[in-house]
Each structure stands twice: as C-alpha cells, then as structure tokens.
C-alpha cells in the first residue's frame, strides 16, 4: 500500500473548526509522516486498510422519491449547543463583505433535500448538558458524508456516542424523518493528530432514508462554480445556501469566499452536477485567508466510496501479510491476516487456490508465492494478490512456497504453515521453503502466515 509524504511549508494560523466552533492551531497541508493510504478506524473498534479500487470513477448524483410521509416536528431547543471559544471574538463569522447566504425556503426540493442537520452527543458534552451540531450530505441510501471533527474530537472525549441526522431540516420540521448512526468511518490519522487533510468521514445509518432525499455525487474535479448548503450555527437550524467560485486549491484543500459559521462543517462543497468535491470545514479567525474545505483527492474518493458502498469491509486488508484460500464447495473464504487461519479444519475440504499480499508495510518489496497443484505440479511464481492454484477444476492444492523481495526481505522473514489431510498442522517454515507435501496426494485444508521482523 502506498505511503503519502507531504512536504509542505507549515503556515501557522489559528482556525475555527466550524462544527462547534473549536479554536485550533493547524496548517492547511500539514505534514503527515508515514501515513498509510486507506487506514480506517470505526466507532465500534475496527481498524483496517481499505483496498484501492483501480477503476473507480466519479460518482453521479441521484434524485430521490422526495416522499415526506415520515415528516416529524423536531424541537432542538432543549439542550444548549456547544459554542466553545468562538465567543472569544464576538461577531467574527468569516463573512466576506455583505452576507451572501440565502435561506432555502423549500428544503424538500432536490438537491437541498440531501443536506442533513447533524446532532452529535459526545462524552464531555453530555455531562454538561450540551451537544455538538454540524452539517452533512446524503451520498448513498444509508450514507452521509461529513467532517471527521463532527464525529470524533479528542477535546470532547473522542467518538460521538450518538449521532442523529435530519435530512432537509427547516428549523422545526424534518420532512423526511430522522435516522441514527449505526456505524462511523473516519481516517485513522484523524484520531492521532486531527490534521485538516484528513477531516472527512462517513456515517452509516439505520435506515435507507437516502432513497427519499436523493443523493449527491462525488468527484475529484475542482473546476467550475461551487455551492455550499449547510446549517450555520447563527441561523438557528435553518438551511442556507450560497454559490460562488474557488479561489485556490492545494493538494488537500479547496479555498473559497463563501460565507460560513460554526455548524456548517461537514457540508458538501458541490459543483453544478451536484457532485461533492470538498467537505466544508475551516475558517481563519482573522480572515487572513479564504474559508476552505478538505479536498476530495483520488485516495479520499476511494475511501469514501468504500465506506459508503462496500458491504464487505470487514474482510478488507489489515497491516501486515494478508491471505485468502479458495476452498472446495465454499469458494473464497474472505481475507485474513497475520497468523489467522484461512481455510477449514475437520471438514475434509480441499484448498484449491490462494492469494497473498502485503499491506501497510514500511519497506518496499514484493511478496512472491507459488503452488503445487494436483496433476500439474509446481506452478510459476506470482506476487501481490495474484491467484495461484486453480478454480473450477476440482484439483487440490498440495504445497506452496512464499518469499519476500527487496527491502522487505532485508527486514522481515515470512513464516507459514499448512494443515494437511491426515497430518494436521505442520511445523512453521520460512522464506521459500515448502509447506504441505508433494508426491503423497494429500490436500492442504488450511494455512497460516506471519511476518517476523529480523
């Protein structure tokens, strides 16, 4: 998995974090050393790496049914909204000249129907009778794109304990009803140092409310006019919108002179095709620069798409050695990693093929492997997730060999073993040695693999 090393000048300034108005010291394209692309954490404790989708393209917007049969009145006045240090400088709202935001009078109209009001409860806020507000955008039937700081904030005690979204909220009525978060995805890097470049996340909901609201698309293209439609904290839960142009782009940010205040964090910055190209998130306290959002790069698009639409993330790659067996009558067993068993034990089923790869490792180099197949003998060496063995031919995998190359081989040993018919688990072997048997007509049933630092 590739690593991103951003070498940029650190431009020190003080920012407002709009979802709750938190004052922070940060930099636009702050350096993130040794960041592994795709590293993800969730609010229920998962930690994994998202696979790269090689042919991923822009995602198109879709209109919904706009069914308002589940409309409900929502009174959000009972708990005080967190304001934080924004009150240190009264009146500063990052408004450029006259206020250009316009009230959306019909929030059931697409695309305004995709804008969601976010109410988030955090450990350190709940105990003082407060909650955090933010904005987001429907991007899937059950998926909302927003800013990571609306979902995880160290100052507030870490993860939000409860997140409720109200699509198309107009200050008193949620025309499409409400939905609750059942799972939250954010970049792992955000939980470490909260860098602006990683300030984005996806909320998976407990209902397909996006079928009613419609959804926004996604793009890495930053050309053309842009619009922000969000729930600004000074507008008391009403949706306001503004259209303008991009003033500047950097590797990880999109700048604009669109008016923003706390609460609008997480709003999608979208183009005329209703495709989101950035997530609105930051403003300068002294207005020395334009407001800006976290840019959707190719890597971020890959992550967002996977979080929102991939239902098999539980088997995504983990840091280390990853492998998967294709087993008789069962097919591919799902990705596992780092000494976990792949295959079956005690069922008398043959392994037929395998895939092996490395993910998130700090050194260059490949992992290579080959299989000894019933009736075929040794196949050629393959690498990095290619399929070794056979499928659909009812041929057993009898033995395999694995080795590392490049700097990985200089720093790690690869160890592996096989569970063999009538023999059980064999001893661990390493670095190109044979696991399994040859010339005995015995099937491999399961395997385990691990990396050991030299």
What's the angle, vertex CA 57, arms to CA 337 and CA 139, rounded to 5?
Answer: 85
Provide the pairing of β-strand 275-284 with 217-218. parallel
Q: Strand locations in 331-386, DSSP E?
A: 331-332, 336-337, 342-343, 351-359, 367-373, 377-378, 382-383
Distance CA 346, CA 355 (A): 22
Buried b / exposed e over 45-81, threshold 16 CB at 10 Å, is eeebbbbbeeeeeebebbebeeeeeeeeebebeeeeb
Token duo for residue 410: 């200089």
The H or E element that residue 302 is part of is helix 298-309
Asked if 452 and 440 count as a contact pair (C-beta separation under 8 A), the reply is: no
Contacts of 227 (CB under 8 A, 6+ apart): 241, 242, 243, 244, 269, 270, 271
Asked if 414 and 367 count as a contact pair (C-beta separation under 8 A), the reply is: yes
Distance CA 26, CA 16 (A): 10
265 catalytic, yes or no? yes
Q: What Å distances lie between residue 113 and 180, 205, 224, 274, 368, CA to CA?
A: 17, 16, 22, 12, 50
Asked if 268 and 279 count as a contact pair (C-beta separation under 8 A), the reply is: yes
Distance CA 98, CA 406 (A): 60
Contacts of 251 (CB under 8 A, 6+ apart): 6, 8, 29, 197, 295, 297
98 catalytic, yes or no? no
Kindly state the DSSP code that residue 345 receives in the 8-state scheme.
S
Q: Strand locations in 7-114, DSSP E?
A: 13-17, 22-26, 35-36, 39-42, 47-49, 72-73, 80-81, 102-103
3-state helix, strand, coil in the chain (%, to 5): 10, 40, 45
* Annotated catalytic residue, options 115, 264, 265, 371: 265
- Per the document, the length of the chain is 454
Other beta carbons within 10 Å of 31 = 14
Q: Strand locations in 122-223, DSSP E?
A: 130-140, 143-146, 152-153, 158-159, 162-167, 173-174, 179-187, 201-205, 217-218
Contacts of 331 (CB under 8 A, 6+ apart): none
* Annotated catalytic residue, options 94, 113, 132, 149: 149
Q: Which residues are catalytically annotated?
A: 149, 265
């Amino acid at each position: 998995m590739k690593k991103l090393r951003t070498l940029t000048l650190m431009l020190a300034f003080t920012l407002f974090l709009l979802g709750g108005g938190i004052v922070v010291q940060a930099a636009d394209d702050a350096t993130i050393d040794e960041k592994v692309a795709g590293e993800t954490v969730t609010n229920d404790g998962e930690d994994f790496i998202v696979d790269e989708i090689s042919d991923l393209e822009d995602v198109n917007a879709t209109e919904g049914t706009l069914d308002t049969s589940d409309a409900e009145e929502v009174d959000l006045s009972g708990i005080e909204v967190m304001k934080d240090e924004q009150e240190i400088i009264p009146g500063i709202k990052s408004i450029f000249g006259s206020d250009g935001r316009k009230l959306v009078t019909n929030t059931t109209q697409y695309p305004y129907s995709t804008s969601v009001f976010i109410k988030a409860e955090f450990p350190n806020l709940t105990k003082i009778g407060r909650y955090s507000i933010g904005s987001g955008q429907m991007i899937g039937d059950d998926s909302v794109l927003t800013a990571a700081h609306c979902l995880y904030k160290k100052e507030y005690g870490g993860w939000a304990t409860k997140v409720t979204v109200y699509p198309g909220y107009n200050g008193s009525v949620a025309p499409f009803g409400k939905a609750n978060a059942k799972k939250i995805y954010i970049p792992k890097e955000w939980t470490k140092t909260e860098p602006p470049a990683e300030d984005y996340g996806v909320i998976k909901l407990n209902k397909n409310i996006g079928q009613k609201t419609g959804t926004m698309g996604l793009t890495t293209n930053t050309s053309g006019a842009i619009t922000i439609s969000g729930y600004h904290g000074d507008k008391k839960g009403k949706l306001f919108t503004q259209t303008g142009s991009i003033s500047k782009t950097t590797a990880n940010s999109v700048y604009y002179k669109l008016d923003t205040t706390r609460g609008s964090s997480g709003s999608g910055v979208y183009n005329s095709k209703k495709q989101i190209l950035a997530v609105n998130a930051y403003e300068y306290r002294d207005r020395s620069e334009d407001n800006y959002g976290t840019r959707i790069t190719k890597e971020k698009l890959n992550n967002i798409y996977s979080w929102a639409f991939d239902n098999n993330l539980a088997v995504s790659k983990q840091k280390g050695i990853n492998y998967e067996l294709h087993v008789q009558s069962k097919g591919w067993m799902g990705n596992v990693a780092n000494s976990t068993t792949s295959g079956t034990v005690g069922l008398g089923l043959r392994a037929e093929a395998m895939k092996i790869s490395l993910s998130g490792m700090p050194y260059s180099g490949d992992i290579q492997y080959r299989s000894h197949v019933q009736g075929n003998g040794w196949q050629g060496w393959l690498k990095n997730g290619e399929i070794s063995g056979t499928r659909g031919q009812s041929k057993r995998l009898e033995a395999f060999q694995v080795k590392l190359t490049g700097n990985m081989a200089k720093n790690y040993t690869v160890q592996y073993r096989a569970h063999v018919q009538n023999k059980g688990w064999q001893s661990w072997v390493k670095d190109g040695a044979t696991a399994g048997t040859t010339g005995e007509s015995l099937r491999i049933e399961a395997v385990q693999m691990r990396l050991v630092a030299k």
